[in-house]
Amino acid sequence: MRPSIKHHIFRQFFTLSVLTVITLISLVELLSDDLEENMVALELKFEQTHYLPKIDNVAQTWKTSTALVSFVPNKTKHYPKLPRVFQGLPIPFSGEVEGLDKEYWVDVSRLPTGVMYVAKDTSLFEQREEVFLFGIAIIGGLFIVISFVLTQLSARRIVKPLTKLTQEISHIDPQNRSIRISEKYHDQELYSIASTFNAYLNTIEEYIKREQMLIGMASHELRTPTAVISGALDVIEARETMTEQDKKTVGRIRSATNEMNANIVAILMLARKQETNRPFTKILLSQRLQAILQERLNTHPQNPIRLSILPSDVNHKLVCDITLVNMLLRNLIQNALEHTQGNVTLQQNEVGLLISDEGSGLPQNVRLQLEQKKTHPNGNENESGLGLFIVTLICERLNWQIEVNKQAKKGMKLQLNFFATD
């Protein structure tokens, strides 16, 4: 599942809030440490200044409630009374030292007459600092919780108009081309999207109107020649001068003309996506296959053996538009014959009709079109593109399905599944 824009907005703003809190706490801690160091340094300086006049040439220690001060002359090699907090420290030294249950900031400096040790008790300051940092952490946690809630609300508020725009677009009915989405958006970006989309719909509607006009004109122009042919056949038959062979030929011409007229009506109906008002017919699939095989023999007498019908225990009875079924079967068989020099076989099975050939298989673009991953013919493809486009339209209208058997080791197998059977 793709992440939403709301999720991205929430994650970025909440991450920024958390980083801000972490940075703030770290900065406060650094400032607190710096403040402690400066304050202790001033107090140590004060203690040194206070005890310098009291220094004699003997080792001695002064102790108060918050400080320890010791002086060790240069001549004294060992001073057993030196407080533990000063023992083992290098000279000079300045830093924190733990002594017993307290923390001290110790400064060790060398004077001309000896070494002066000054320790300042910082336990109270450390305790106050811990309380202060704990309070800052609580405030930071509350800030993160508040940021979480506000970020959620802000993300919803930001995404809400975009969600509304998406819903308006998704609810547009292709059958009702007059619908347009609202352009009443406060944000300039959303207004631009809405207005651009409406302009796109207007352009598409103009193209559709032009195509519908062209289809209407094509309907008239295509029907006129068939009407002329039918009229000419009527004239020829009225003369009653034809031989029996001529009558058979004229009969085939009339049959082809009637079928051409029916095909024109069916194609225009598919192009306009209109429902047909022609009655459905109950047919046997075996009869249709035999009729198409006979047509193939009549039109290609020089190569009749490439197409054959295999025997089967199944004989589907279909209630459908016979014109659409004829067009579908002719186009599928024609494409199978075009893509192989070997034999093409037709066999009914439990789910429909299996069309097999011995060729190298269908090209990739043809497979995509049959699998309905590409539902329109590309102008760069060969003439079979239009036939396959008609196949996909008819299958959609009849609620049938074509499956390409990709596991076939040799040739290609197309399975035509019937979802509406009787």
Q: In this structure, which amino acid lies at residue 41?
A: A
Structure tokens at 98: 């733990």
Do 226 and 114 lie in one domain? The reply is no
Do 44 and 140 lie in one domain? The reply is yes
In a domain, 259, yes or no: yes
Cα 278 to Cα 35: distance, rounded to the nearest angstrom: 94
Q: Residue 100's pLDDT band (boundaries 50, 70, 90)?
A: low
36-86 per-position pLDDT tens digit: 778 878 888 888 888 888 887 888 888 887 788 898 888 888 888 888 888
- Higher pLDDT pick, 32 / 106: 106
Helix (H, G, I), strand (E, B) or coil at 374: coil
Mean pLDDT of the region 140-156: 85
For residues 330 and 337, is the Cβ–Cβ distance under 8 A? no
Q: Choose the most confident range, by mean pLDDT, from 24-38, 104-118, 123-137, 207-221.
A: 104-118
Do 321 and 374 lie in one domain? The reply is yes
Cα-to-chain-centroid distance, residue 351: 35
In a domain, 188, yes or no: no
Q: What pLDDT, on the 0 to 100 scale, is given for residue 380?
A: 46
Burial class (CB in 10 A: 0-12, 13-18, 19+), 50: middle
CATH number reported for the structural domain that contains residue 326 in this entry: 3.30.565.10
In a domain, 46, yes or no: yes
Cα-to-chain-centroid distance, residue 25: 39
CATH number reported for the structural domain that contains residue 238 in this entry: 1.10.287
- Number of other residues whose CB lies within 10 A of the CB of residue 30: 10
Cα 178 to Cα 172: distance, rounded to the nearest angstrom: 10
Where in the sequence is the domain holding 17, given as residue range(s)?
Answer: 5-146
Q: What pLDDT, on the 0 to 100 scale, is given for residue 247?
A: 83
Q: Residue 382's pLDDT band (boundaries 50, 70, 90)?
A: very low
In a domain, 170, yes or no: no
207-246 per-position pLDDT tens digit: 777 777 776 676 667 777 888 888 888 888 888 788 888 8
The last residue of a domain, from among 97, 115, 146: 146
Do 18 and 137 lie in one domain? The reply is yes
In a domain, 154, yes or no: no
Helix (H, G, I), strand (E, B) or coil at 180: coil
Helix (H, G, I), strand (E, B) or coil at 367: helix
Structure tokens at 224: 């006129």
Do 261 and 385 lie in one domain? The reply is no
Write the CA distances from 82 to 60, 63, 68, 70, 356, integer angstroms: 8, 12, 10, 7, 105
Cα 111 to Cα 369: distance, rounded to the nearest angstrom: 96
Do 256 and 289 lie in one domain? The reply is no
The last residue of a domain, from among 107, 126, 146: 146
Q: What pLDDT, on the 0 to 100 scale, is given for residue 291?
A: 87
Mean pLDDT of the region 21-44: 81
Determine the angle formed by the axes of helices 322-338 and 285-299, rounding to 10 degrees: 50
Pick the closest to residue 226 from 189, 268, 193 (CA basis).
268
Q: What are phi and psi of 79, to 5 degrees?
A: -125, 95
Do 318 and 215 lie in one domain? The reply is no
Mean pLDDT of the region 310-323: 88
Do 317 and 404 lie in one domain? The reply is yes
Q: Residue 418's pLDDT band (boundaries 50, 70, 90)?
A: confident
Pick the closest to residue 320 from 350, 295, 345, 288 (CA basis).
288
Contacts of 179 (CB under 8 A, 6+ apart): 172, 173
- Among the ranges given (201-205, 329-333, 374-378), the one the predictor scored with the smallest mean pLDDT: 374-378
In a domain, 137, yes or no: yes
In a domain, 240, yes or no: yes
DSSP letters spanning 194-262: HHHHHHHHHHHHHHHHHHHHHHHHHHHHHHHHHHHHHHHHHHHHHHT---HHHHHHHHHHHHHHHHHHH
Q: In this structure, which amino acid lies at residue 43?
A: E
Q: What is the CA radius of gyration of the chain?
A: 47
Do 360 and 383 lie in one domain? The reply is yes
Mean pLDDT of the region 250-270: 77
Do 312 and 328 lie in one domain? The reply is yes
Cα 73 to Cα 92: distance, rounded to the nearest angstrom: 15
Cα 401 to Cα 352: distance, rounded to the nearest angstrom: 10
- The DSSP output letter for 301 is T
Cα 282 to Cα 316: distance, rounded to the nearest angstrom: 10
Mean pLDDT of the region 8-30: 83
For residues 318 and 282, is the Cβ–Cβ distance under 8 A? yes
Do 98 and 22 lie in one domain? The reply is yes
In a domain, 16, yes or no: yes
Do 290 and 390 lie in one domain? The reply is yes
Burial class (CB in 10 A: 0-12, 13-18, 19+), 102: middle
- Total count of domains within the chain: 3
The last residue of a domain, from among 220, 254, 271: 271
